[in-house]
């Protein structure tokens, strides 16, 4: 699986057949801006892909280097962890055939969070991601779908969705 995550922003994830540059390149071209500052682990394909970007920083996980100052891949790792927790606690089994659907649902959940700054006991600032309150989600849904309605058949089946 290939994950592209913007810090405090959206995430995109896709299943990939291999970790070769040729396999990853279409995803990279579609979802990443070449002026971005790419951060990854030290995988060979990432090093080649990173040359296409304004900046590319990497950490060496195999040498237990998980972060170096502001350089880390923890945002993508966090999404991967969310997928694993969902597999264990919600989905129980993830079919490779439907992996895109599972990833889309988790992307949806990921992007409906807000950053909240907290100070820990030593006073160091920490960003914690919290779910958007349910009432705010309802307002977003109402605003997004205002003017839409379902057309029904006589048996109350849905014919189509129309904009009023």
pLDDT in tens, 66-101: 889 889 998 899 999 999 999 999 888 888 888 988
**Considering the domain boundaries, does residue 143 fall inside one?**
yes
Alpha carbon distance, N-terminus to C-terminus of the chain: 40
**Considering the domain boundaries, does residue 122 fall inside one?**
no
**Considering the domain boundaries, does residue 48 fall inside one?**
yes
Residues 44 and 80 both lie in one domain: yes
**Considering the domain boundaries, does residue 124 fall inside one?**
no
Half-sphere exposure of 73 (CA within 13 A, CB side): 23
> pLDDT by residue (tens digit) across 30-50?
989 999 899 998 888 999 999
**Considering the domain boundaries, does residue 125 fall inside one?**
no
**Considering the domain boundaries, does residue 82 fall inside one?**
yes
Q: Cα dist. 138→58, 105, 134, 147 in Å?
A: 40, 17, 6, 15
Average pLDDT, the chain: 86
Number of Cβ within a 10 Å radius of residue 72: 19
Residues 97 and 28 both lie in one domain: yes
Residues 107 and 138 both lie in one domain: no
Find all residues with CB under 8 Å of 38, minimum gap 6, and list them. 32, 46, 49, 50, 53, 55, 56, 57
Helix (H, G, I), strand (E, B) or coil at 117: strand
Count of domains in the chain? 2
**Considering the domain boundaries, does residue 129 fall inside one?**
no
Place of tokens 């195999």: 62
Residues 84 and 145 both lie in one domain: no
Residue-number span of the structural domain to which 159 is assigned: 134-163
Residues 69 and 6 both lie in one domain: yes
For the CA atoms of 38, 40, 45, 49, the dihedral, rounded to the nearest 10 degrees, stands at: 0
């Amino acid at each position: 699986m290939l994950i592209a995550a913007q810090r405090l922003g959206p995430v995109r994830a896709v299943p990939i057949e291999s970790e070769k540059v040729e396999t990853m390149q279409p995803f990279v071209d579609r979802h990443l801006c070449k002026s971005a500052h790419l951060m990854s682990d030290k995988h060979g394909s990432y090093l080649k892909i990173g040359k296409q970007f304004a900046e590319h920083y990497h950490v060496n996980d195999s040498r237990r280097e998980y972060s170096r100052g502001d350089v880390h891949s923890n945002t993508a790792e966090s999404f991967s962890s969310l997928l694993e927790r969902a597999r264990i606690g919600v989905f129980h089994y993830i079919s490779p055939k439907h992996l895109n659907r599972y990833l889309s649902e988790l992307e949806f959940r990921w992007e409906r969070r807000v950053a909240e700054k907290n100070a820990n006991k030593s006073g160091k600032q920490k960003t914690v991601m919290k779910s958007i309150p349910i009432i705010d989600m309802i307002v977003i849904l109402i605003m997004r779908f205002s003017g839409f309605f379902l057309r029904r058949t006589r048996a109350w089946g849905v014919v189509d969705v129309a904009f009023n």
